[in-house]
Structure 1
Protein backbone atom coordinates (compact mmCIF):
# COMPACT_ATOMS: atom_id res chain seq x y z
CA UNK A 1 0.00 0.00 0.00
CA UNK A 2 2.83 2.36 0.90
CA UNK A 3 4.63 1.92 -2.43
CA UNK A 4 1.49 2.67 -4.48
CA UNK A 5 0.28 5.56 -2.31
CA UNK A 6 -2.86 3.58 -1.45
CA UNK A 7 -4.52 4.36 1.88
CA UNK A 8 -5.69 1.57 4.18
CA UNK A 9 -9.50 1.31 3.91
CA UNK A 10 -9.88 2.13 7.60
CA UNK A 11 -8.28 5.54 7.00
CA UNK A 12 -11.30 6.70 4.99
CA UNK A 13 -13.92 7.24 7.74
CA UNK A 14 -17.05 5.86 6.03
CA UNK A 15 -15.11 3.04 4.38
CA UNK A 16 -13.53 2.14 7.72
CA UNK A 17 -16.94 2.05 9.36
CA UNK A 18 -18.25 -0.21 6.59
CA UNK A 19 -15.15 -2.41 6.73
CA UNK A 20 -15.68 -3.22 10.41
CA UNK A 21 -19.16 -4.56 9.60
CA UNK A 22 -18.01 -6.29 6.43
CA UNK A 23 -15.12 -8.08 8.16
CA UNK A 24 -17.59 -9.68 10.57
CA UNK A 25 -19.89 -10.64 7.71
CA UNK A 26 -17.03 -12.17 5.70
CA UNK A 27 -15.75 -14.07 8.75
CA UNK A 28 -19.15 -15.67 9.19
CA UNK A 29 -19.46 -16.53 5.49
CA UNK A 30 -15.95 -18.02 5.22
CA UNK A 31 -16.28 -19.64 8.65
CA UNK A 32 -13.04 -18.06 9.84
CA UNK A 33 -12.56 -17.30 13.56
CA UNK A 34 -11.98 -13.58 13.14
CA UNK A 35 -12.06 -10.99 15.88
CA UNK A 36 -11.22 -7.39 15.05
CA UNK A 37 -8.39 -6.24 17.35
CA UNK A 38 -9.66 -3.97 20.14
CA UNK A 39 -7.06 -1.35 19.23
CA UNK A 40 -7.36 -1.81 15.47
CA UNK A 41 -5.45 1.34 14.54
CA UNK A 42 -2.69 0.66 17.04
CA UNK A 43 -2.28 -3.00 16.19
CA UNK A 44 -2.87 -3.04 12.46
CA UNK A 45 -2.10 0.47 11.21
CA UNK A 46 0.51 1.88 13.63
CA UNK A 47 2.44 -1.28 14.62
CA UNK A 48 1.88 -3.05 11.32
CA UNK A 49 3.36 -6.41 10.48
CA UNK A 50 6.88 -5.74 9.18
CA UNK A 51 8.63 -7.84 11.84
CA UNK A 52 6.21 -10.73 11.23
CA UNK A 53 6.70 -10.43 7.45
CA UNK A 54 10.48 -10.53 7.90
CA UNK A 55 10.16 -13.60 10.10
CA UNK A 56 7.93 -15.32 7.54
CA UNK A 57 10.48 -14.39 4.86
CA UNK A 58 13.29 -16.00 6.88
CA UNK A 59 11.11 -19.10 7.33
CA UNK A 60 10.42 -19.23 3.59
CA UNK A 61 14.12 -18.87 2.76
CA UNK A 62 15.34 -21.64 5.08
CA UNK A 63 12.45 -23.78 6.34
CA UNK A 64 9.67 -23.56 3.73
CA UNK A 65 7.85 -26.56 5.19
CA UNK A 66 6.95 -24.29 8.12
CA UNK A 67 5.79 -21.36 5.97
CA UNK A 68 2.07 -22.16 6.05
CA UNK A 69 1.81 -23.16 9.73
CA UNK A 70 3.83 -20.13 10.90
CA UNK A 71 1.83 -17.78 8.65
CA UNK A 72 -1.44 -19.24 9.92
CA UNK A 73 -0.37 -18.95 13.56
CA UNK A 74 0.69 -15.33 13.17
CA UNK A 75 -2.64 -14.61 11.45
CA UNK A 76 -4.54 -16.35 14.28
CA UNK A 77 -2.65 -14.31 16.89
CA UNK A 78 -3.60 -10.93 15.44
CA UNK A 79 -6.97 -11.66 13.80
CA UNK A 80 -8.50 -14.33 16.08
CA UNK A 81 -6.98 -13.76 19.49
CA UNK A 82 -6.04 -10.04 19.36
CA UNK A 83 -2.45 -10.85 20.32
CA UNK A 84 0.74 -9.07 19.31
CA UNK A 85 2.74 -10.13 16.23
CA UNK A 86 5.47 -7.49 16.41
CA UNK A 87 7.52 -8.32 19.49
CA UNK A 88 10.19 -11.06 19.41
CA UNK A 89 8.54 -13.08 22.19
CA UNK A 90 5.21 -12.99 20.30
CA UNK A 91 6.83 -14.17 17.07
CA UNK A 92 8.64 -16.95 18.94
CA UNK A 93 5.38 -18.01 20.61
CA UNK A 94 3.70 -18.21 17.21
CA UNK A 95 6.61 -20.20 15.81
CA UNK A 96 6.38 -22.63 18.73
CA UNK A 97 2.63 -23.09 18.23
CA UNK A 98 3.35 -23.81 14.55
CA UNK A 99 5.77 -26.60 15.52
CA UNK A 100 9.02 -24.79 14.77
CA UNK A 101 11.71 -25.96 17.22
CA UNK A 102 12.73 -23.21 19.65
CA UNK A 103 16.44 -23.10 18.71
CA UNK A 104 15.56 -22.88 15.03
CA UNK A 105 12.96 -20.16 15.68
CA UNK A 106 15.59 -18.13 17.59
CA UNK A 107 17.99 -18.49 14.64
CA UNK A 108 15.30 -17.35 12.19
CA UNK A 109 14.37 -14.41 14.40
CA UNK A 110 18.02 -13.31 14.37
CA UNK A 111 17.97 -13.53 10.57
CA UNK A 112 15.18 -10.95 10.31
CA UNK A 113 17.63 -8.08 10.71
CA UNK A 114 20.01 -9.34 8.00
CA UNK A 115 20.30 -7.68 4.60
CA UNK A 116 19.44 -11.03 2.94
CA UNK A 117 16.01 -11.22 4.58
CA UNK A 118 15.27 -7.52 4.19
CA UNK A 119 16.25 -7.64 0.50
CA UNK A 120 14.19 -10.79 -0.13
CA UNK A 121 11.11 -9.13 1.36
CA UNK A 122 11.73 -6.03 -0.77
CA UNK A 123 12.09 -8.23 -3.87
CA UNK A 124 8.83 -10.01 -3.05
CA UNK A 125 7.09 -6.66 -2.61
CA UNK A 126 8.54 -5.36 -5.89
CA UNK A 127 7.34 -8.50 -7.68
CA UNK A 128 3.82 -7.99 -6.32
CA UNK A 129 3.93 -4.35 -7.47
CA UNK A 130 5.06 -5.46 -10.92
CA UNK A 131 1.83 -7.44 -11.23
CA UNK A 132 -0.21 -4.43 -10.13
CA UNK A 133 -0.79 -5.24 -6.45
CA UNK A 134 -1.78 -2.27 -4.29
CA UNK A 135 -2.79 -4.00 -1.06
CA UNK A 136 -3.61 -7.39 0.40
CA UNK A 137 -4.90 -9.98 -0.09
CA UNK A 138 -3.67 -10.21 -3.66
CA UNK A 139 -3.33 -13.35 -5.80
CA UNK A 140 -1.60 -13.62 -9.16
CA UNK A 141 -2.67 -16.51 -11.38
CA UNK A 142 -0.43 -17.44 -14.30
CA UNK A 143 -2.54 -19.00 -17.07
CA UNK A 144 -1.47 -19.63 -20.65
CA UNK A 145 1.44 -17.23 -20.41
CA UNK A 146 -0.69 -14.42 -18.95
CA UNK A 147 -0.73 -13.02 -15.43
CA UNK A 148 -4.05 -12.21 -13.77
CA UNK A 149 -4.15 -10.13 -10.57
CA UNK A 150 -7.04 -10.58 -8.14
CA UNK A 151 -7.45 -8.30 -5.14
CA UNK A 152 -9.59 -9.21 -2.17
CA UNK A 153 -11.00 -12.37 -0.69
CA UNK A 154 -14.26 -11.78 -2.58
CA UNK A 155 -12.62 -12.58 -5.94
CA UNK A 156 -12.24 -16.33 -5.45
CA UNK A 157 -15.08 -17.14 -7.85
CA UNK A 158 -13.41 -15.05 -10.57
CA UNK A 159 -10.03 -16.65 -9.83
CA UNK A 160 -11.64 -20.09 -10.18
CA UNK A 161 -13.11 -19.10 -13.52
CA UNK A 162 -9.73 -17.95 -14.87
CA UNK A 163 -7.96 -21.16 -13.80
CA UNK A 164 -10.82 -23.37 -15.00
CA UNK A 165 -12.14 -24.40 -11.57
CA UNK A 166 -15.60 -23.91 -10.14
CA UNK A 167 -15.68 -22.05 -6.81
CA UNK A 168 -17.96 -23.99 -4.49
CA UNK A 169 -17.75 -21.58 -1.59
CA UNK A 170 -15.72 -21.71 1.59
CA UNK A 171 -17.16 -25.07 2.62
CA UNK A 172 -17.61 -27.08 -0.61
CA UNK A 173 -19.69 -29.86 0.99
CA UNK A 174 -22.20 -27.28 2.22
CA UNK A 175 -22.38 -25.71 -1.26
CA UNK A 176 -23.35 -28.88 -3.10
CA UNK A 177 -27.03 -29.27 -3.97
CA UNK A 178 -28.90 -31.59 -1.65
CA UNK A 179 -30.88 -34.40 -3.17
Structure 2
Protein backbone atom coordinates (compact mmCIF):
# COMPACT_ATOMS: atom_id res chain seq x y z
CA UNK A 1 0.00 0.00 0.00
CA UNK A 2 1.34 3.39 -0.98
CA UNK A 3 2.07 5.61 2.03
CA UNK A 4 0.02 8.76 2.35
CA UNK A 5 1.72 11.99 1.31
CA UNK A 6 1.91 14.67 3.99
CA UNK A 7 0.47 18.05 3.00
CA UNK A 8 0.87 21.08 5.27
CA UNK A 9 -1.53 24.00 4.91
CA UNK A 10 -0.32 27.29 6.40
CA UNK A 11 -3.21 29.72 6.79
CA UNK A 12 -4.70 32.69 8.62
CA UNK A 13 -8.45 33.27 8.99
CA UNK A 14 -8.01 36.91 7.99
CA UNK A 15 -7.12 35.76 4.46
CA UNK A 16 -10.07 35.01 2.13
CA UNK A 17 -7.81 33.11 -0.25
CA UNK A 18 -6.79 30.94 2.69
CA UNK A 19 -10.46 30.05 3.22
CA UNK A 20 -10.75 28.86 -0.37
CA UNK A 21 -7.57 26.80 -0.11
CA UNK A 22 -8.65 25.41 3.25
CA UNK A 23 -12.03 24.19 1.98
CA UNK A 24 -10.56 22.59 -1.14
CA UNK A 25 -7.85 20.76 0.79
CA UNK A 26 -10.42 19.55 3.33
CA UNK A 27 -12.56 18.21 0.47
CA UNK A 28 -9.62 16.50 -1.21
CA UNK A 29 -7.99 14.86 1.80
CA UNK A 30 -10.34 11.88 1.31
CA UNK A 31 -9.90 11.92 -2.48
CA UNK A 32 -6.14 12.26 -2.82
CA UNK A 33 -3.79 9.97 -0.94
CA UNK A 34 -2.76 12.65 1.57
CA UNK A 35 -2.48 13.35 5.27
CA UNK A 36 -3.55 16.97 5.70
CA UNK A 37 -1.86 18.91 8.49
CA UNK A 38 -3.36 22.28 9.37
CA UNK A 39 -0.73 24.92 10.22
CA UNK A 40 -2.32 28.05 11.68
CA UNK A 41 0.09 30.98 11.37
CA UNK A 42 0.03 34.80 11.42
CA UNK A 43 -0.30 36.54 8.07
CA UNK A 44 0.84 39.89 9.49
CA UNK A 45 4.15 38.35 10.49
CA UNK A 46 4.61 36.78 7.05
CA UNK A 47 3.84 40.06 5.29
CA UNK A 48 6.35 41.90 7.46
CA UNK A 49 8.98 39.20 7.31
CA UNK A 50 8.81 38.85 3.53
CA UNK A 51 8.53 42.57 2.76
CA UNK A 52 5.21 42.08 0.96
CA UNK A 53 2.67 44.89 0.65
CA UNK A 54 -1.06 44.65 1.48
CA UNK A 55 -3.40 44.85 -1.57
CA UNK A 56 -4.85 48.10 -0.23
CA UNK A 57 -1.53 49.84 -0.87
CA UNK A 58 -1.75 48.92 -4.56
CA UNK A 59 -5.08 50.42 -5.77
CA UNK A 60 -5.37 48.40 -8.97
CA UNK A 61 -4.63 45.18 -7.10
CA UNK A 62 -7.25 46.00 -4.47
CA UNK A 63 -9.91 46.71 -7.10
CA UNK A 64 -9.11 43.46 -8.88
CA UNK A 65 -9.25 41.48 -5.63
CA UNK A 66 -12.88 42.45 -4.97
CA UNK A 67 -14.08 41.08 -8.31
CA UNK A 68 -11.73 38.13 -8.10
CA UNK A 69 -13.15 37.03 -4.74
CA UNK A 70 -16.71 37.31 -6.07
CA UNK A 71 -15.93 34.95 -8.94
CA UNK A 72 -13.92 32.56 -6.77
CA UNK A 73 -16.71 32.31 -4.20
CA UNK A 74 -19.07 31.10 -6.92
CA UNK A 75 -16.56 28.71 -8.47
CA UNK A 76 -15.46 27.09 -5.21
CA UNK A 77 -18.95 27.23 -3.67
CA UNK A 78 -17.77 28.97 -0.52
CA UNK A 79 -20.07 31.62 1.03
CA UNK A 80 -17.41 34.30 0.79
CA UNK A 81 -18.54 37.91 0.72
CA UNK A 82 -16.19 40.84 1.18
CA UNK A 83 -16.80 42.95 4.32
CA UNK A 84 -17.70 46.61 3.97
CA UNK A 85 -14.08 47.59 4.58
CA UNK A 86 -11.82 44.69 3.56
CA UNK A 87 -8.59 46.60 4.18
CA UNK A 88 -9.62 47.43 7.74
CA UNK A 89 -10.70 43.85 8.38
CA UNK A 90 -7.49 42.35 7.02
CA UNK A 91 -4.74 44.76 7.98
CA UNK A 92 -5.96 47.32 10.54
CA UNK A 93 -7.83 45.06 12.97
CA UNK A 94 -5.81 41.97 12.19
CA UNK A 95 -6.14 38.40 13.39
CA UNK A 96 -3.47 37.91 16.04
CA UNK A 97 -5.88 37.08 18.88
CA UNK A 98 -7.93 34.76 16.67
CA UNK A 99 -4.89 32.85 15.43
CA UNK A 100 -3.52 32.52 18.95
CA UNK A 101 -6.87 31.00 19.94
CA UNK A 102 -6.75 28.55 17.03
CA UNK A 103 -3.16 27.67 17.93
CA UNK A 104 -4.15 27.12 21.57
CA UNK A 105 -7.00 24.88 20.42
CA UNK A 106 -4.65 22.83 18.26
CA UNK A 107 -2.22 22.37 21.15
CA UNK A 108 -5.09 21.48 23.49
CA UNK A 109 -6.82 19.11 21.07
CA UNK A 110 -3.70 17.08 20.18
CA UNK A 111 -5.59 14.07 18.73
CA UNK A 112 -6.37 15.48 15.29
CA UNK A 113 -7.53 18.85 14.02
CA UNK A 114 -11.30 18.39 13.82
CA UNK A 115 -12.12 21.18 16.28
CA UNK A 116 -9.40 23.37 14.79
CA UNK A 117 -11.08 22.92 11.41
CA UNK A 118 -14.54 23.78 12.76
CA UNK A 119 -13.42 26.86 14.71
CA UNK A 120 -11.29 28.15 11.84
CA UNK A 121 -14.27 27.84 9.51
CA UNK A 122 -16.54 29.75 11.90
CA UNK A 123 -13.98 32.54 12.22
CA UNK A 124 -13.81 32.79 8.42
CA UNK A 125 -17.60 32.89 8.31
CA UNK A 126 -17.65 35.82 10.72
CA UNK A 127 -15.23 38.03 8.86
CA UNK A 128 -15.71 36.88 5.25
CA UNK A 129 -19.39 36.02 5.15
CA UNK A 130 -21.09 37.99 7.92
CA UNK A 131 -18.82 41.08 8.18
CA UNK A 132 -18.36 40.59 11.92
CA UNK A 133 -15.47 41.18 14.29
CA UNK A 134 -12.91 38.44 15.07
CA UNK A 135 -10.60 40.44 17.35
CA UNK A 136 -12.51 40.62 20.64
CA UNK A 137 -12.72 37.74 23.13
CA UNK A 138 -16.52 37.73 22.88
CA UNK A 139 -16.30 37.50 19.09
CA UNK A 140 -13.91 34.55 19.22
CA UNK A 141 -16.11 32.96 21.87
CA UNK A 142 -19.18 33.21 19.66
CA UNK A 143 -17.37 31.52 16.76
CA UNK A 144 -16.05 28.77 19.06
CA UNK A 145 -19.51 28.22 20.53
CA UNK A 146 -20.98 27.78 17.04
CA UNK A 147 -18.22 25.26 16.32
CA UNK A 148 -19.40 23.17 19.27
CA UNK A 149 -17.03 24.11 22.08
CA UNK A 150 -18.46 24.52 25.57
CA UNK A 151 -18.35 27.74 27.58
CA UNK A 152 -15.82 26.24 30.00
CA UNK A 153 -13.58 25.03 27.17
CA UNK A 154 -13.67 28.46 25.53
CA UNK A 155 -12.81 30.20 28.79
CA UNK A 156 -9.87 27.88 29.32
CA UNK A 157 -8.64 28.34 25.73
CA UNK A 158 -8.91 32.14 25.87
CA UNK A 159 -6.61 32.13 28.88
CA UNK A 160 -4.27 29.57 27.29
CA UNK A 161 -4.08 31.65 24.11
CA UNK A 162 -2.40 34.53 25.97
CA UNK A 163 0.34 32.31 27.42
CA UNK A 164 3.96 32.52 26.36
CA UNK A 165 3.77 28.90 25.19
CA UNK A 166 1.08 29.69 22.62
CA UNK A 167 2.58 33.01 21.55
CA UNK A 168 5.86 31.20 20.89
CA UNK A 169 4.11 28.35 19.06
CA UNK A 170 2.36 30.75 16.69
CA UNK A 171 5.57 32.70 16.15
CA UNK A 172 7.44 29.49 15.32
CA UNK A 173 4.75 28.37 12.86
CA UNK A 174 4.88 31.78 11.18
CA UNK A 175 8.67 31.59 10.94
CA UNK A 176 8.44 28.11 9.45
CA UNK A 177 6.18 29.53 6.74
CA UNK A 178 8.80 32.22 6.09
CA UNK A 179 11.47 29.52 5.95
CA UNK A 180 9.46 28.06 3.07
CA UNK A 181 9.75 31.49 1.39
CA UNK A 182 6.14 32.45 2.15
CA UNK A 183 5.00 35.94 1.17
CA UNK A 184 1.29 35.40 1.77
CA UNK A 185 -1.32 32.72 2.46
CA UNK A 186 -2.45 30.08 1.80
CA UNK A 187 0.86 28.27 1.58
CA UNK A 188 0.74 24.54 0.84
CA UNK A 189 3.79 22.35 1.38
CA UNK A 190 3.50 18.90 -0.21
CA UNK A 191 6.03 16.28 0.89
CA UNK A 192 6.53 14.06 -2.16
CA UNK A 193 9.22 11.39 -2.48
CA UNK A 194 11.42 13.01 0.12
CA UNK A 195 11.11 16.46 -1.47
CA UNK A 196 9.03 19.53 -0.71
CA UNK A 197 6.79 21.00 -3.38
CA UNK A 198 5.60 24.45 -2.32
CA UNK A 199 2.53 26.22 -3.68
CA UNK A 200 1.12 29.67 -2.93
CA UNK A 201 -2.48 30.71 -3.42
CA UNK A 202 -5.80 29.07 -4.19
CA UNK A 203 -5.26 28.58 -7.93
CA UNK A 204 -2.58 25.89 -8.06
CA UNK A 205 -4.56 22.75 -7.32
CA UNK A 206 -4.21 21.22 -10.77
CA UNK A 207 -0.43 21.66 -10.67
CA UNK A 208 -0.35 20.43 -7.09
CA UNK A 209 -2.18 17.26 -8.12
CA UNK A 210 0.23 16.71 -11.00
CA UNK A 211 3.26 16.99 -8.72
CA UNK A 212 1.76 14.48 -6.29
CA UNK A 213 0.62 12.01 -8.94
CA UNK A 214 -3.04 12.73 -8.17
CA UNK A 215 -5.91 14.10 -10.26
CA UNK A 216 -7.73 17.42 -9.97
CA UNK A 217 -11.42 16.96 -10.73
CA UNK A 218 -12.71 20.42 -9.86
CA UNK A 219 -13.64 22.29 -6.67
CA UNK A 220 -16.30 19.77 -5.63
CA UNK A 221 -14.97 16.20 -6.04
CA UNK A 222 -17.59 13.47 -6.23
CA UNK A 223 -15.96 11.44 -3.47
CA UNK A 224 -17.68 12.06 -0.09
CA UNK A 225 -15.57 14.67 1.66
CA UNK A 226 -15.83 17.76 3.81
CA UNK A 227 -18.33 20.28 2.48
CA UNK A 228 -19.90 23.42 3.87
Could you tell me the TM-score, scaled by structure 1's length?
A: 0.93
1:134 to 171, 174, 183: 183
> Highest CA radius of gyration, 1 or 2?
1
- Aligned partner of 1:146 in structure 2 is 195
1:40 aligns with 2:86: yes
Correspondent of 1:119 among 154, 164, 168: 168
1:45-86 Cα offsets, whole Å, 9 max, x none, are: 100111110000000000244110011111111111111111
Two-structure CA RMSD over aligned residues (Å)? 1.0
Tell me which residue corresponds to 1:56: 102
1:40 positional shift: 1.3
Q: Offset at 1:22?
A: 0.4
Written as runs of structure 1 = structure 2, the 5 A alignment for 1:75-94 is 75-94=124-143
Residue of structure 1 aligned with 2:77, choices 31, 55, 58: 31
- Where relative contact order (Cα < 8 A, 6+ residues apart) is larger, the structure is 2
Q: Could you tell me which runs of 5 or more consecutive residues in structure 2 were left unpaired when the two chains were aligned.
A: 1-46, 223-228
Work out the number of aligned pairs and report it: 173
In 2, Cα distance between equivalents of 1:58 and 1:34 = 26
Distance 1:118 1:107 in 2: 16
Which ranges of 4 or more aligned residues in structure 1 deviate by more than 6 Å? Answer: none
Higher helix share: 1
Classify the secondary structure of the residue corresponding to 2:48. coil
Aligned residue in 2 for 1:6: 52
Q: Name the structure 2 match of 1:176.
A: none
> Partners of 1:36 and 1:165 in 2: how far apart?
32
